[in-house]
Amino acid sequence: MHEMSIAAAVVEQVTQAAEEHGATSVRTVRLDVGELAGVVPDALDFCFALACEGTALAGSVLRTRTVPARARCAPCDVEWSPGIPPDLGCPRCAGGTGVALLTGRELHIRGVEWAERPTGADG
């Protein structure tokens, strides 16, 4: 289950950021997950809770936002939603070459809400 390695990496990155900013606890982590990233949301939530135990993220909530997949054909410049599983054949060019997947594979931390104001935070 790669959701555990994803959760562990998120906890590690947020823990490092908390240390750098002088925060001792985290309330919420916001994560963008592409619909083609192959992540099972319920499994990620479960693994995140386990990975947070004993860290500054203990008790925090993971909020995921699904990023829809989009593809573009370079020759005709049409964009479309490739679906799941992805159909990367251009709908205008009848499967033309030069198709690029623009979104849908994302997996990145969009934001963190600290439980208290970090040391040196502005505002």
31, 109 Cβ separation under 8 angstroms: yes
User: What's the confidence (pLDDT) of residue 65?
Assistant: 96
pLDDT digits (tens, 9 = 90+) for 51-64: 999 999 999 999 99
The tokens describing 72, both together, are 């573009």
Residue 49 vs residues 11, 15, 80, 92: alpha-carbon distances, Å: 10, 14, 36, 45
Percent share of the chain, pLDDT over 70? 92
Residue-wise pLDDT tens digits, 13-67? 999 999 998 999 999 999 999 999 999 999 999 999 999 999 999 999 999 999 9
List alpha helices for 22-121, DSSP H: 41-52
Distance CA 56, CA 48 (A): 13
Half-sphere exposure of residue 5: CA atoms within 13 angstroms, side-chain side: 3
Q: Which CATH class is domain 1-68+104-123?
A: alpha beta
Question: pTM, whole model, 2 decimals?
Answer: 0.82
Which part of the chain is CATH 3.30.2320.50?
A: 1-68+104-123
